[in-house]
Structure 1
Amino acid sequence: MEERWFSTSEIAAYLGVKQDKIYRLIGTEGLPAHKTGRFWKFRKDEIDAWKGKSTPAGKKGKSKPKPDLLSRLGFSFEKGGVHTARTMMLKELETLLAYVGSPEAEKKDYQRAITDENCLGKRSAKSRGLTFRHLADLYSLDRTCLLFRALLFFWSRDLPGRPLLALLCAYARDAILRSSASFILEHPESSTVSRESLEELLDGLEPGRFSKATLTSTAQNINSTWTQSGHLRGKAKKVRTQASPTAGSAAYALLLGYLAGARGQGLFSSEYAGLLDCPPEKTVELAEEASRKGWIVFKRVSDVVEVGFPNLIGPEEKERLREQN
């Protein structure tokens, strides 16, 4: 029986590293990988052989890694995610941000709006508390967090881009949602995406972890999120459709790729740019539009591309990124 291909998220889990490190290992450590369209695929036997060559006999790894910069910027690599219980909660996020209405609001202000003032109309104190926790897990709701601060920046400036903005932020913070991306994006347009096939994918990632009921509800939540973002349509029957990227969502995707270590042309082929569901050429056009609006800095001379984010990345964050690179 031919060995199946593994996705980036699966190999990251297998190696016990964060997904973004996989891309660095491909470029710097020769991690064996195969590019199929916009995505990397892996063979487990090749990874096992690479592990044997890359780890000298008797040499122990570091027992305690240094604090991760990406986590401080807002990325999350915790096992599991909100999607076992909820979707990306786009309507709740829209209502909450409109109700609070200030980019200077603190996390406690969002909590008070949900739990004390019940701006989302939840029936019980318990459901209000759970709603706040889920939204905080998905989006941080902390303006000191770069991912959330940048989300707010584009949220107020690019209304049509909100579904993709929410997806990008949730993707960077929810491992279960990330694990479904390749499965959804690789479906041809107009093809059916069944809940059962997504259940099979989730069960294959961690066999036996989820009960049948949890698999079903998680698959429904994931399909609903991809419907909210514009990648799927339909209620009972989900059909693959093309999302509608905007200048703001493209700029946010480029920012996430930049924070994860991509530079130059690599920004337009990152996993975050892939969520825009459009060719790199279209992403370039949207980046140029975002630059004309003053949201980002985009420069291109022939094949040399430079993208900057002076409105979004603060001096301290810029210094940390420089040290990491």
Structure 2
Amino acid sequence: MILDVALLALLWGACVARLPTLLRDKRQQALWATLFAGALTETSAFPPVAEAVGRPILTHLLGAVAAFVLLRFLALLTGAGGLRRQLALTVTVLVTLLVLDAVTGGIDPGPARLAGPLSPATVAYWAVLEVYLGTVLIIATLLFWSVARDAPAGLPRLGLRTAAVGTAMISVYAAAKTTLIVLSGAGVPIDFDAVAPWGHYLQGVGTLLAVSGGLVPAGRRARAVLTAYVSLLVLRPLWTAMRDAFPEVILFSPRRAVIELAGVDELHLRLYRRVIEIRDGMLALRPYLADGSHETPQAEAMAIAVALRRRAAGCPPDDDGRTFAPVGPQMADEVAWLSRVSRAYRKARVTAAAAPTPRPSGSAR
């Protein structure tokens, strides 16, 4: 039960975490669809859910659909076609399973019902299902392992090889189960009560490894997304002050930013745009700077607060060459410096007349 819960948590967590990637390309959509179909399959097989539904064939049909989606993802990954053949094969498998289930009066995957002798229709049902699933998983294993050889060393290669090991374990489970069912149908006594827990463990661990391995290469991107989003939040007080003082520096409307939530590239674009908007506001604020040093983040934050106060009070601009501390040359240097300035600006408790830290408002761009 613990393994089942861990697997469900991983699958549904991955589905939710990768929702933004649906806006990117077909491969990302196919990957998400594979995770979603796998999550539905495992959920339908979860004992409380399976008992409530009372139709074991539902799990098998969902498993066949999940295998088709995985096959489509692999085809998009390699640039291969064959959509019509894959779809025709999957439909054939689904129809065959439904017919055989009707012939047998309902398939029961419990160990007690698998103990022989089994009818030819029951043996055919399991053979069709497991051979189809096993074939797709073998294809996935070979592809993941071959791609891993050319993947960059470190997490990408480790993740692909872990996924290959996971799909290989599920393939072994499918092959072993098919063999035992065929032997049971031939009259060979098989103690399914003894082997069922081991098979469940092999399948569960294999699925965990396959899903975890598929998510490992995205770990670096996830860290980059998290770092960029933290920077966006840290820069917010300073950005809000510039936006409120100089609305014209905003490059896009907040509504436009809502559609740019998918992927690390879009998030970095938002971060760079925020830095540019802050710098544009500081450039417009320069004529209101007072004399003094701006060599520390605290000093620059106070200078911004004082300049905003002078501008709000109607002081005439004085363009005598005063400027803020030079930073650069990389954008990362700008982000790091402005983040420190923004923290200092947020913590600076000047009087209300001295341009207090603005309250958060508008979009969290």
TM-score interval (norm. to shorter): under 0.3
Query: Greater Rg, structure 1 or structure 2?
Result: 2
Q: Which of the two has greater helix per residue?
A: 2
Report 1 or 2 for greater relative contact order, CA contacts < 8 Å, sequence distance ≥ 6. Answer: 1
The TM-score, its normalising length taken from structure 1, stands at 0.23
Q: Which of the two has greater strand per residue?
A: 1
